[in-house]
Amino acid sequence: MNPESVNDDLAAIEQVVATVERTQRAKDPEGFLALFHPDALWTTGHGKVLIGFDAIAEFTRAVLPKASWDGDVTYEVVHTQFLRADVAAVKVRQVYHSAADGDSAGAPLYVMTKQADGGWLLHVCQNTEVKE
């Protein structure tokens, strides 16, 4: 991988994570679902395993719009490891901010795959709640 393409890929990956943040804040299931590969696998922060886009979509459409948090959430890429030129493991720091309940944190791991058009999609995701 040449340094210029790595920088382009890192920027594209960070844009996907920024879109995760934006769609979570807006409680926008369709915007969030647009980030997933059709063969995606997702394990929620509470351990629910969702295999395939249809399962992820059903869960997201039912849960995200009714989420009880106030919508102030941040996502930050803390480490990206390219497993191959078209596969990246992305460690994220997720913080839900709540004036009433205090902050709660998550430590998602996203395995992302580069598509033929150069874009990156979420392919395998594990969201882990951080207990402090």
The four Cα atoms 111, 113, 114, 115 give a dihedral, to 10 degrees, of -150
Given a contact cutoff of 8 angstroms between Cβ atoms, the answer to whether 122 and 89 are in contact is no
Q: Write down the pLDDT at residue 52.
A: 97
Q: Kind of pairing, strands 109-114 and 120-126?
A: antiparallel
Q: H-helix or E-strand containing 114? A: strand 109-114
Mean pLDDT, range 103-130, rounded to an integer: 94
pLDDT at 131: 82
- pTM, rounded to two decimals: 0.91
What mean pLDDT comes out for the span 109-127? Answer: 97
Q: Supply the pLDDT for residue 46.
A: 87
Say if residues 109 and 129 touch (Cβ distance below 8 Å).
no
Scanning the chain, the segments in alpha helix (DSSP H) are: 3-25, 29-33, 53-63
Spatial neighbors of 103 by CB under 8 A, at least 6 apart, are 95, 96, 97
Burial 85-104 (b: 16+ CB within 10 A, else e): eeebebebebebeeeeeeeb
Question: In this predicted model, what pLDDT tens digit does every residue of 41-86 receive, in sequence order?
Answer: 999 988 999 999 999 999 999 999 988 776 688 999 999 999 999 9
Q: Mean of the per-residue pLDDT values for the chain?
A: 92
d(CA 31, CA 8): 22
Which two three-digit tokens encode residue 31? 């915007």
pLDDT at 1 over 80: no
